[in-house]
Amino acid sequence: MIAVTLSSTCYVTIPDVNFKTYLLSNPLINTNGNQEIECSEAEVFSQGITCRNLQISDMTGLEAFVNIKSLDCSKNLIKNLDQLDKNPKLLYLFCSENNLDRLIISSNPDLESLDCSNNPILSLDISRNKKLLALWSYSAKLKSLNLANGINLDMEVIEVQNNPDLVCIQVDDENYSQVNWRSDPFNFDSQHIFSENCAPCSDPMISFISNFLVSGTACTDDSIRLIEYGAFQDSIQDIEFLWDFGNNRSSTERDPIIIYTQPGKYSIVLKLKVQTVKPLSINK
């Protein structure tokens, strides 16, 4: 007779050696002291994971720690934290100085503090984080930032300075933010504006690409025809053409003719204006 013992023990998959080494060395996590993190050990752990500056590049395995309250994985090589949707009880998240190009925290409703600064993150949305009071996301690559989480009046600190590609920041009340968020402990860049709607225009009826042709040189008293060559997805009847010829003269025609009577160098500006979008200026 041959006796066969079948093990039903569940182990957490942790491919990053440095992350696994940290977890194994924590006796509050690795309670039985073996060389694996069991699923039951991860599930019952409800404190914080602090694994700063350990050359970690992959946080796979974090999803097993469904009850953790805090995570500090700053100063590593992490490219994503997609596991966060399995950490719904997270209160504090510190992940600065990594290689994160995205950060989705919509599944972390209890989050109170977030530091994701010094990451190449392009977009950040805290609109579902109704308890978030402190945010640091400075020196990133932000192009989109939604701070409209419904409790802007309770926010204690926001630092998103040094994000040169970011212009419009969505907030609960643009007037409140303009008055109260322009000094410490709130830090924004000079080009940052507050708005209650930063959504880009998605109406194809007003989508257009435009430019114009103009001679580089001409003689005085020559007639110069300016030819606007635009690609419009709809009729141009609602588009205004506003020309400034640089000599105190202007025109609202699409393809105007201008005569310069004095020699000189002139800057010609074409502004395209549609009622529902910001004007587009083209200079030559």
Where residue 235 sits, what CATH number does that domain have?
Answer: 2.60.40.10
Are residues 213 and 249 both part of a single domain? yes
Dist CA 239 CA 275 (whole Å): 8
DSSP tag of 236: G
Within the chain, residue ranges assigned H as helices are: 17-25, 39-44, 174-180
Exposure letters 227-265 (e unless 16+ CB within 10 A, then b): ebeeeeeeeeeebebebbbbeeeebeebebebebeeeee
Dist CA 216 CA 258 (whole Å): 14
Are residues 189 and 209 both part of a single domain? no
Under a CB-based contact definition with an 8 Å cutoff, are residues 24 and 37 in contact? yes
Paired strand residues for 113: 92, 134
Are residues 42 and 151 both part of a single domain? yes
Dist CA 53 CA 241 (whole Å): 56
Where residue 60 sits, what CATH number does that domain have?
Answer: 3.80.10.10
Q: What is the pLDDT of residue 189?
A: 96
Are residues 83 and 183 both part of a single domain? yes
Paired strand residues for 281: 271
Q: Which residues contact 280 (CB under 8 A, 6 or more apart)?
A: 210, 271, 272, 273
User: Is residue 255 one of the residues assigned to a domain?
Assistant: yes
Are residues 210 and 71 both part of a single domain? no
Are residues 43 and 176 both part of a single domain? yes
DSSP tag of 110: T
Domain count, the chain: 2
Under a CB-based contact definition with an 8 Å cutoff, are residues 144 and 171 in contact? no
Domain's final residue, options 146, 178, 195:
195
Residue 233's domain comprises 204-283
Residue 37, judged by CB atoms within 10 A of its CB (0-12, 13-18, 19+), counts as buried
Are residues 162 and 278 both part of a single domain? no
User: What is the pTM for the complete model shown?
Assistant: 0.70
Q: What is the pLDDT of residue 169?
A: 96
Are residues 134 and 246 both part of a single domain? no
Q: What is the pLDDT of residue 9?
A: 87
pLDDT tens track of the chain, all 284 residues? 444 334 578 999 999 999 999 999 999 999 999 999 999 999 999 999 999 999 999 999 999 999 999 999 999 999 999 999 999 999 999 999 999 999 999 999 999 999 999 999 999 999 999 999 999 999 999 999 999 999 999 999 999 999 999 999 999 999 999 999 999 999 999 999 999 998 764 444 444 444 554 545 556 555 555 555 454 444 445 677 787 878 888 888 877 787 778 777 777 777 776 654 544 444 54
Identity at 122, one-letter amino acid code: L
Are residues 218 and 186 both part of a single domain? no
